[in-house]
A and B are shown apart, each in its own frame.
Chain A
Amino acid sequence: MAPQRETILRVENIAKYFPITRGIVFQTKIGEVKAVDGVSFDLAKGETVGVVGESGCGKSTLARLIMRLEHPTRGQVFYQDRDIFAMPGSALRRLRRNIQMVMQDPYTSLNPRMTVGDIIGEPFEIHRDVAPRGDRRRKVQELLDYVGLNPEHISRYPHQFSGGQRQRIGIARALALRPKIIVCDEPVSALDVSIQAQVINLLERLQNELGLAYIFIAHDLSVVRHISDRVAVMYLGKVVEIGTEDEIYGRPTHPYTQALLSAVPVPDPTARAHRDVIRLEGDVPSPANPPSGCRFRTRCWKAKPICTEQEPPLTAQQADPHLSACHFAELRHVVA
């Protein structure tokens, strides 16, 4: 990591509860889905923070909160020390230039009725002061070239491209305004494995050349390990463990992280024979009615009465100094 860490994004204790309502005309709230429940982390310039977790653990809601597509139930997100949820319209427009997102599904994230030129040129039309009108076509072609697409395909439609090419179009659109941060919400999970590597390499090249910071959301642990400087593991709307890539993959202390890592397929058969497989029982509890105390206790083999009564704080552990939220945190070596 860079010697002087310059934080550009800080997420503080953010939470988003979605109301569960009943009735059509007179709606009454009968409960809440706690999609994200008190998540904090920060992101430095040029850094990649990976966010991993099972489906439904709140990863995408977290991304939508950072993009200001949802309003939080509580908590703040600071971009360069300014709360993004308190920003007036003009500041928000400037914020949009600095934080962009690459979406998961390249088949639905591009408007089928617009040409590639219109899709990538739209940021310039919305933020007219970024590029003068006559310059836009050239800028769009530069972007196409930059993400590895043929600049002559500017007037083609999205359906004329393959999934990997479409994801490149999405990346070019996110890059158009020269953002400082790109939130990648499972950017490769909809792609073939061979194409995944190409897109990941593209993202890494862009980071090196443009100094981008990424928030990289995925459920594929190997992909996250490859690209991330730091990794946050989420379970049921909370971060259960966060640390550098080495700490999370080499010295995990939270049982959930250990279980996740033990599920990663190992290609080497001899190594596979020796590894420590942890099988989790049961399903993820409903986020509408999460367990008391530690949220993982219903599936944890270490659970004791204290886990029901007290929620473990996310703190540095004796076993290893990175942050982990478990009463019985201890090292367990699961992957090489």
Chain B
Amino acid sequence: MSSPEESTTLAKPRSLAADAWYDLRRSPIFWIASIIVVALVGIAAFPGLFTSADPKACSLDFRFAGPGPEAPFGYDVQGCNVYARTMYGARSSIEVGLFATLMAGTIAFALGMAAGFYGRWIDTLLSRSLDVIASIPLLLAAIVLLKRLSATGGSTGVWSVAFTLGVLGWPVAARVVRSSVISAKQQDYVQAARMLGAGNGRIMLRHILPNAMAPAIVVLTIMLGTVIATEATLSFLGIGLQPPAISWGGSINDNSAYVRTAAGPLLWPAGFLAVTVLAFIMLGDAIRDAFDPRMR
């Protein structure tokens, strides 16, 4: 009985996700960004695979020494192996980026969903507090918060930096979640679920969330890049990760005074940082273009 209509099925991918994937597979930017991101995550997870040198074994005997078999990028002002430090530095950058984004994402989804779904005064309250937090400059607030943390004896390790950036970074994503929840909420299939007697929890988790996730994930991918840049900035300013923690920002700070005598120790971590940030932003951008129906 269904056969006469059968022929139209599966002719062309028609769902948004399928269309987006179709576009993404043809996007060189997506592939370049993905390869860089995968490589960086690999380095961050297993830096020992990429270098056998100890990044903390520094000796002033090697101060500004040139590249060697163990140290293809040479040695820095403290006589540390620049290559080893760059590899190990990836870990803190990626860790801070991931944890901060994860945290911001969790807050954004919870509050954005609540605001968009319940509307009325809950929305007004959440949206206005969101505006307040969004109006605080991220870097300035992070400096103040981290200063407080270290002044009260708290550690300024990966966790506290990630926490600080996560707590301050969620408003943009929350706004995106809220607006896509509002548009998903009015869809017919949400009404249909309600007519079947589905409760709010089921409607939010099974019907609204899966259909409201894509734009927020794009924003969070881009945010991951900016969080990594902010972490490096904080470490450069001496407020983020503190030695003996190894980070790109810290390395840039250590070697910035000697840029004229030896640029290598500064440029390698800076280059990695730039490429990492760029890769995440490009990835998010490519996904956003693929998901944007106006682009097709």
Interface residues of A (CB under 8 A from B): 25, 67, 69, 92-93, 96-97, 100-101, 103-105, 108-114, 122-123, 126-127, 148-150, 156-157, 159-162, 164-165, 168, 170, 173, 177, 195
Contact = CB atoms under 8 A, between A and B. Distances in A.
B19 to A, nearest CB: 10
A113 B17 CA distance: 9
Contact of B189 (A92, A100, A110): A110
Interface of B: 1-2, 5, 8-10, 13-18, 124, 187-189, 191-199, 202, 206-207, 210-211
B95 to A, nearest CB: 31
Contact of B196 (A148, A150, A159, A173): A173
Given A111-B207, A112-B211, A177-B196, A162 B189 contact: no
Contacts of A96: 195-197
Contacts of A126: 196-199, 202
A103 B196 contact: no
B148 to A, nearest CB: 34
A5 to B, nearest CB: 27
Contact of A159 (B18, B189, B207): B18
A101 B189 contact: no
A122 B197 CA distance: 10
B5 A162 contact: yes
Contacts of B198: 122, 126
Contact of B206 (A114, A127, A150): A114
Contacts of B191: 69, 103, 109
A169 to B, nearest CB: 11
For the residues of A in contact with B, the DSSP-based class is: loop
Contacts of B193: 111, 122
Contacts, number: 81
Nearest to B19: A159
A160 B9 contact: yes
Given A93-B197, A109-B192, 6 more contacts: A69-B191, A92-B197, A103-B192, A109-B191, A112-B15, A164-B5
A108 B197 contact: no
A109 B197 CA distance: 15
Contacts of B206: 111, 114, 122
B202 A148 contact: no
B196 A161 contact: no
A25 B124 CA distance: 8
A33 B235 CA distance: 59
A313 to B, nearest CB: 33
B211 A162 contact: no
Nearest to A124: B196
- Among B1, B17, B194, chain A packs the most CB atoms within 10 A around the CB of B1
Nearest to B186: A108
Contacts of A108: 187-189
Contacts of A173: 192, 196
B144 to A, nearest CB: 31
Contacts of B202: 126
A165 B197 contact: no
Contacts of B8: 162
Given A69-B195, A126-B196, A159-B18, A113 B188 contact: no
